[in-house]
Structure 1
Amino acid sequence: MIIPWQQLDPETLDSIIESFVLREGTDYGEQERSLAQKVEDIRSQLQSGEVVLVWSELHETLNIMPRNQFNAGGHAPY
């Protein structure tokens, strides 16, 4: 299920994004990016709709994933 990021408290959203960035731990760019830059990148992707917050009822976890990957899985948008 997609969780509308706009409905979250800004501090909560920051914590979720930071946790995601730290969990991913992979950087494919030629230049190293700071945690703050990576968090801002994810925030921009959420705002543009490129990625979505997804709650898994089965696993009781929250994740951030590309919208097209979520839609390709046959999930209902809300």
Structure 2
Amino acid sequence: MLIPYQMLEADTLTRLLEDFVSRDGTDNGDETPLVTRVERARKALLKGQALIVFDPESQQCQLLLREEVPREWLQDQN
């Protein structure tokens, strides 16, 4: 299920992005400050390059690149 970032309160979106960019395996040795990584993720959302996906089964959110999202989900969005 896609979650439009616009539906989230600003603080909630920021906390969600902080969680995404600080998860295990996301830094790959990157020493870029957290605030910079959050802003990169936010810009990707704003440009439509990334989407927030919620899995009801696991009750977890992920940030995926648009090309990683199943096409039928994108069609449902229109």
TM-score by length of structure 2 reads 0.83
After the TM superposition, list the runs of 4 or more consecutive aligned residues in structure 1 that deviate by more than 6 angstroms: none
Amino acid at match of 1:76: W
1:57-72 aligned at under 5 Å gives the runs 57-71=56-70
Matched, 1:41 2:35: no
Give the aligned CA root-mean-square deviation in angstroms.
1.7
SS of corresponding position for 1:76: helix
How much does 1:55 deviate?
0.5
Describe the shift of the 1:38–1:12 C-alpha distance in structure 2 as closer, same or farther (beyond 3 A). same
Q: Percent identity?
A: 27
For residues 1-78 of structure 1, what are the structure 2 equivalents within 5 Å?
1-23=1-23, 24-27=25-28, 32-71=31-70, 74-77=71-74, 78=77
CA positional deviation for 1:65:
0.6
For these two proteins, the number of residue pairs brought into alignment is 74
Deviations, residues 13-65 of structure 1 (Å, cap 9, x unaligned)? 00000001110442466xx3110000000000000010000010121111101
Larger relative contact order (Cα-Cα within 8 Å, sequence gap ≥ 6): 1
The alignment's TM-score, normalised by the length of structure 1, stands at: 0.83
What's the CA shift for 1:66? 0.6
Question: Unmatched 5+ residue regions in structure 1?
Answer: none
